[in-house]
């Protein structure tokens, strides 16, 4: 007998498949907030989906972390913490405006050795590539990342990416480095922003979340994207 899934079931499975690792509390917040007891409702649904074999889980973390049914990563892998950091960035964005066209571990060049941002999305009308740095790297390594972005910028391949708006001039995404450390990196061609988290980004460029004050609109050199987080 075929399993009947609600639309919420399907949305949860799709969300876990996209983000690769999602903790129970985040699922409760994102999918069960309308319930009187979101955590209890979430637990009931997730146990059912796990028993049906539609999601996997690891209880190496508290609360439980859910993974795709065909997850290739080990249940104690450090990659799980990496994916949870990406999820946290997404959730921070959602407190201001729900991002669109979300891609986790984007590979826009389609080639090994090209740029591999942790997250791509359209946030408050502007495209962003996010580099989420949980570990401290050398400035040389960080500059090498920026150099790869410049290489892709000059390739013009980005102009044909699927999220570009048809009939509109192509827009190059701003690169955000989310890090508690400030690196001495630079580019003469693309916009690079270093902030600790999305809240700092909004404080600097997007005004207060409640008042939604107009934000400044810096432009990259060479006529790149205009940042508008209002």
pLDDT at site 227: 45
- The 10s digit of each residue's pLDDT in 90-134 is 999 999 999 999 999 999 999 889 999 999 999 999 999 999 998
What gap in Å lies between CA 19 and CA 96, rounded to an integer? 19
Preceding peptide of 63 cis, ω within 30°: yes
E-strand stretches of 8-164? 22-23, 55-58, 65-68, 100-104, 119-123, 126-132
- Among candidate residues 23, 37, 31, the one with its CA nearest the CA of residue 88: 23
pLDDT at site 68: 97
- The 10s digit of each residue's pLDDT in 200-213 is 999 998 754 333 33
- Among candidate residues 20, 19, 37, the one with its CA nearest the CA of residue 28: 37
CA dihedral 96→97→98→99, nearest 10 degrees, is: -100
pLDDT at site 229: 56
Report how many helices (DSSP H) and strands (DSSP E) the chain contains, helices first.
6, 8
pLDDT, mean of each 10-residue run, the chain (230 residues): 89 98 98 97 98 96 96 89 97 96 96 95 97 93 97 96 95 97 95 97 71 32 41
pLDDT at site 207: 53
pLDDT at site 75: 86
**Cβ atoms 50, 65 nearer than 8 A:** no
pLDDT at site 134: 87
What's this model's pTM, rounded to 2 decimal places?
Answer: 0.87
The DSSP H or E segment spanning 176 is strand 174-178
Partners of 68 in the β-ladder: 55
């Amino acid at each position: 007998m075929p399993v009947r899934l609600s639309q919420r079931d399907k949305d949860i499975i799709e969300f876990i498949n996209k983000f690769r690792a999602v903790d129970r509390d985040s699922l409760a917040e994102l999918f069960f907030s309308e319930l009187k007891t979101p955590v209890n409702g979430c637990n009931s649904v997730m146990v059912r989906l796990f028993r049906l074999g539609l999601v996997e889980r690891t209880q190496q973390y508290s609360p439980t972390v859910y993974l795709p049914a065909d997850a290739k990563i080990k249940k104690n892998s450090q990659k799980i913490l990496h994916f949870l950091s990406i999820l946290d960035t997404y959730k921070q964005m959602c407190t201001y405006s729900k991002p669109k066209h979300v891609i986790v571990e984007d590979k826009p060049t389609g080639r090994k050795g090209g740029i591999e941002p942790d997250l791509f999305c359209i946030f408050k009308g502007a495209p962003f590539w996010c580099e989420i740095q949980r570990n401290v790297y050398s400035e040389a390594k960080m500059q090498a990342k920026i150099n790869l972005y410049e290489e892709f910028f000059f390739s013009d391949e980005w102009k044909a990416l699927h999220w570009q708006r048809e009939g509109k001039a192509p827009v190059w995404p701003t690169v955000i480095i989310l890090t508690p450390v400030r690196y001495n990196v630079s580019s003469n061609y693309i916009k690079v922003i270093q902030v600790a988290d999305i809240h700092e980004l909004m404080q600097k460029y997007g005004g207060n979340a409640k008042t939604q004050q107009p934000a400044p609109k810096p432009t990259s050199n060479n006529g790149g994207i205009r940042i508008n987080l209002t």
